Amino acid sequence: MKVLGNTDGPATPGPSILVVEDDKSLTRVFATTLEIAGYRVLQAESGQSAIEEVRTRNPDIILLDLGLPDVDGVSLVPQIRSLTTAPIIVVSGREQEADKVKALDAGANDYLVKSFSVPELLARIRVGLRGRAHVRDTASTVVTFGDYNFELEARRLLRGSRPVHLSSTEFNLLATLARHADQCVSTEVLLKETWGVAYQRKRGYVRVYVHALRRKIEKDPAKPKYLLNEGRHGYCLRTSTSTSRGDGSPSTTRLRRAAA
């Protein structure tokens, strides 16, 4: 596996951010600010709706207010954490150190006290997203395979200097494989990370989108070199120079499986 530094170039649609806030006026401010910055905004006004959004929309990052009408936000943090590895940034008017400690101990990644500046909010979001863009246990956020450079943090796939357009779903699927490059990733993990836990029985989704990615990436989609099928075990993104069999599975020894 070869990893590179970042380069400039066009990107796929921006990351999705779930704003969990019952104050509609503040939600509008969040939405306007984040959309101008290039993010896609999802909204939830209660704990119950937040859980449903996480289960079915799988946001890339979550901004969570603690004062929700149906549940205290601190108790919501571990529920969200059980459904996703996405960063949770608490955005709250509670300034006491004890509140911050409780939220962080419950599983939140960061804590931002209202009121705050827009630059600080955007910087915290970038930090949270950057942590999810690392390739395996390295500090790199870029994977190269064949003529392609896949930049997870910049959200773009380049063939040489030419960008390859990816939909948000295609990006999320390829990013999950790239974070575990040269390892087998189970279909269950791919479904959870790409679509959300509500879709973990929709195994056909992975086959359809892997086929779509192969049509964009592989010279011969019927004989893939990079997006390989590990049979019942899942799929892998092969970055090494070893060849594959005609059915898209590795010709060398079985790849080590990625942890869920």
* CATH code for position 221: 1.10.10.10
Please indicate, yes or no, if residue 147 is contained in any of the structural domains: no
Beta carbons within 8 Å of 79's beta carbon, 6+ residues apart? 47, 51
User: What would the two tokens of residue 85 be?
Assistant: 């590895």
Q: Mean of the pLDDT values across residues 156-161?
A: 95
Judgement on whether residues 123 and 197 belong to the same structural domain of the protein: no
Cα-based distances in Å from 234 to 87, 166, 207, 216, 230: 25, 21, 10, 20, 5
pLDDT for the residue numbered 240: 79
Q: How many separate domains does the chain show?
A: 2
Task: Give the residue from 131, 150, 183 where a domain finishes.
Answer: 131
Quote the domain boundaries for residue 213.
Answer: 162-237
Among the listed ranges 8-17, 18-27, 86-95, 242-251, which one has the minimum average pLDDT value? 242-251
Judgement on whether residues 33 and 124 belong to the same structural domain of the protein: yes
pLDDT for the residue numbered 118: 95
pLDDT for the residue numbered 231: 86
Please indicate, yes or no, if residue 222 is contained in any of the structural domains: yes
Judgement on whether residues 115 and 169 belong to the same structural domain of the protein: no
Which pLDDT tens digit goes with each residue over 233-251?
899 999 975 444 444 444 4
Judgement on whether residues 52 and 113 belong to the same structural domain of the protein: yes
Q: Is the pLDDT of residue 202 over 70?
A: yes
Judgement on whether residues 96 and 45 belong to the same structural domain of the protein: yes
- The DSSP secondary structure of the chain, one letter per residue, reads -EE--------PSPPEEEEE-S-HHHHHHHHHHHHHTT-EEEEESSHHHHHHHHHHH--SEEEE-SB-SSSBHHHHHHHHHTT--S-EEEEES---HHHHHHHHHHT-SEEEESS--HHHHHHHHHHHHHHTS--TTSS--EEEETTEEEETTTTEEEETTEEE---HHHHHHHHHHHHTTTSBB-HHHHHHHHT-GGGTT-HHHHHHHHHHHHHHH-SSTTS-SSEEE-GGG-EEE--SS--B-TTSSBSSSPPPBPP-
Judgement on whether residues 111 and 212 belong to the same structural domain of the protein: no
